[in-house]
Amino acid sequence: MTVPNQVICDADGNQIQISEYPNAVNVYEDARNQICIDPEAPTVVAVQLLGTESIFTRRHVHTQASPSTSWVITHALKGKPQVTVVDTADTSVVGDVIYNSDTQITVSFTAAFAGNAYLT
C-alpha cells in the first residue's frame, strides 16, 4: 500500500508525488503484476505502457499490400497478441495464426488477398 504524500519513482526513475489517491499502484508492463484492491478505500489503477506507441493503446497495424496466402508479421508487442484480419473491403477474414516468437507471427489463409492485420 502506498502512503499518501509519498514520493515514488516510476520505471524511468522519475519522481511521482502520491497525494490524491492513497491506494495508487505501480504496474509495469515488463513484469507480472497482481493487484489487490481494498473495496473500502478509494482506489485508482493507472497503467502506462512504455515505448514509442500511445500510452493508452498498444496495437500494431500490418498492411499486406500484395495478395498472399501467408502473411508474416513482425511486431513490438511481445507475447501473443490477438489478431484481427480484414481484406481491402474491410471484411473480416479468418486465418490460421502461428506465433513464431514473441515478436513475429504468421497468418495463413486458403486464398491470397491483400488487407490489414490488427494486433492488440
Are 46 and 24 within one domain?
yes
Q: Are residues 108 and 85 in the same domain?
A: yes
Average pLDDT, rounded, for the chain: 74
Contact 115, 93 (CB under 8 A): yes
Residues 95 and 44 in one domain: no
State which of 10, 40, 57 marks the end of a domain: 57
The tens digit of pLDDT for each residue in 42-95 reads: 555 555 445 444 444 578 899 999 999 999 999 988 889 999 999 999 999 999
- Do 71 and 50 fall into the same domain? no
Among 41, 57, 73, residue at a domain's last position: 57
> Could you give the number of structural domains in the chain?
2
Q: Are 9 and 50 in a shared domain?
A: yes
How far are the Cα atoms of 13, 17, 53 from residue 26, in angstroms, in the given order?
13, 13, 19
The pTM assigned to this predicted structure is: 0.55
Q: Which domain holds residue 73?
A: 60-119
pLDDT tens readout for residues 23-41: 555 555 555 555 565 666 5
Nearest to 81, CA basis, from 120, 111, 42:
120
CA distance 98 to 41: 44
C-alpha radius of gyration, the chain, whole number: 20
